[in-house]
A and B are shown apart, each in its own frame.
Chain A
Amino acid sequence: MNIEIKIIEKEKPKKESTVILAFPDVGLVGPIAVKHLIKDLEMEEIGYITSDTFPPITAVHNSRPTYPIRIYGKSDLISVTSEIPITPDLINPFSNEITGWLEKIKAKNIVILGGLPRQNREEIDEPPIHGIPSNKDAEVKLKDNDLHVLEEGFISGINGVLLRSLAERNVPGIYLMSEAHRNYPDPGAAASILEALNDLEGLSINVDELRKKEEEIKVAARDLMRQTQKTMQEAEKNREEEIPMMYG
């Protein structure tokens, strides 16, 4: 089946921007982080992503219908985030379309935000951050910022396919992960990843409010987490905790 994904720009994104991508996944780290980033930096909606194959869901915000997957912008910063999980059947066409769009707008830096499942996460207060680069330039950037670079493992779901798609086109991108609860919303992990993003991209996102409202965010994010749990099962997310066969 030919799946058409459409990226609609209501305003032209600035060329050579930094683009932050965040889709529902482990601990909803990316969407929680980007929701806060959009509010803190007062970013405006500049576009959306749609497809006839997406679930027929309309988000309502500020008494107006809108799309669940939206693009925000301010100056040379763009963020893309979603209020619905990306199901496995949509992942490849979705990733291809986004990567093509990132090339078209000549994105300078691309950072995908996500979570890395951590057993007994409640035992640690400051979850460590890890990164996977799409190419050598991105690897140097991670190391220059003293961030741990993952060497072996599996990534399942949208974030891994997006990163692979960037690597195939030699587009510099980083998949930044905070250790997080796999199945529970994790605003603490979202705050940690935003602090790492501040250092990596020279941003100044204030995470005090995010940390203060952790428990309230957990209550409000339960239903998206439930939907995301189902999608993660379908995407064999448990494979991320498997040990890869290493040799050599």
Chain B
Amino acid sequence: MHNEGNNPSWDVNRGCMDPLVNVRESREEIIVTADLPCVEKEDISLKIEENLLHLNAEMKKAFQFDNWGGFHREVKFNSFKKTIVLPSSVNPATAETSFKNSILRVRIKKKKGKKIEIE
């Protein structure tokens, strides 16, 4: 499972929140899921590099937690943003995605290693 660490799950300067994310790895592929409530499929942007997945999703309405904390209550959160470090190198061209009931699912094939003959 992806380690979320101890940092706050939001950034008041950018008005964005960390989505909840999970990463699973099998022999052939990596499966990333993310919970993106209040998001439409059209507003999700994904960029996959060698072993990074950049996720950006705009929410259909801004969230303001009127009765939470001090300065926080004045902040409007309107997107989810996260860069996920993948456990292996992947081939971005193989990515398959689905989005249903707020769950984004991304399956990406791992890069194949080169077979070495024993001399």
**Which residue from B9, B63, B65, B103 sits with its C-beta under 8 Å from A226?**
B9
- Does A218 reach chain B (CB closer than 8 Å)? yes
- Does B43 reach chain A (CB closer than 8 Å)? no
Which residues on B sit within 8 Å (CB–CB) of A215? 37-38, 102
Which residues on A sit within 8 Å (CB–CB) of B65? 220
Report the minimum CB–CB distance from A117 to chain B (whole Å). Answer: 12
Complex-state Cα separation, A219 to B16, whole angstroms: 12
Report the minimum CB–CB distance from B84 to chain A (whole Å). Answer: 14
A122 touches B100 (CB 8 A): yes
Q: Which residue of B lies closest to A188 (CB)?
A: B101
Complex-state Cα separation, A222 to B20, whole angstroms: 7
- Does A242 reach chain B (CB closer than 8 Å)? no
Which residues on A sit within 8 Å (CB–CB) of B105? 122
Complex-state Cα separation, A33 to B3, whole angstroms: 27
Complex-state Cα separation, A223 to B20, whole angstroms: 9
Complex-state Cα separation, A220 to B63, whole angstroms: 10
Complex-state Cα separation, A188 to B102, whole angstroms: 12
- Does B1 reach chain A (CB closer than 8 Å)? yes
Complex-state Cα separation, A183 to B102, whole angstroms: 13
Report the minimum CB–CB distance from A54 to chain B (whole Å). Answer: 19
- Does A229 reach chain B (CB closer than 8 Å)? yes
**Which residue from B4, B17, B102 sits with its C-beta under 8 Å from A122?**
B102
Complex-state Cα separation, A185 to B4, whole angstroms: 16
C-beta contact mask, B1-45 vs A, less than 8 Å → 1, else 0? 100100001000000011110100000000000010110000000
- Does A216 reach chain B (CB closer than 8 Å)? yes
B20 touches A226 (CB 8 A): yes
Which residues on A sit within 8 Å (CB–CB) of B100? 122-123
- Interface-centre pick from B17, B37, B65, B100 (highest chain A CB count, 10 A): B37
Q: Given A215-B102, A218-B102, A225 and B37 touching (CB < 8 A)?
A: no
Q: Given A218-B102, A219-B17, A222-B17, A233 and B37 touching (CB < 8 A)?
A: no
- Does A67 reach chain B (CB closer than 8 Å)? no
Report the minimum CB–CB distance from B42 to chain A (whole Å). Answer: 16
Q: Which residue of B lies closest to A62 (CB)?
A: B67
- Does A181 reach chain B (CB closer than 8 Å)? yes
**Which residue from B1, B9, B38, B103 sits with its C-beta under 8 Å from A184?**
B103
The 9 closest A-B pairs by CB, nearest first: A218-B37, A122-B103, A215-B37, A184-B35, A122-B101, A122-B100, A215-B38, A226-B4, A219-B37
The 7 listed contacts between A and B (C-beta, < 8 Å) are: A122-B100, A184-B20, A184-B103, A185-B20, A185-B35, A188-B101, A226-B20
Chain B residues with a Cβ under 8 A of chain A: 1, 4, 9, 17-20, 22, 35, 37-38, 63, 65, 100-103, 105
Extra 17 A-B pairs, beta carbons < 8 Å, given A121-B103, A122-B102, A222-B9: A122-B101, A122-B105, A123-B100, A181-B103, A183-B20, A183-B22, A185-B35, A215-B38, A216-B37, A216-B38, A218-B35, A219-B17, A219-B63, A223-B9, A225-B20, A226-B4, A226-B9
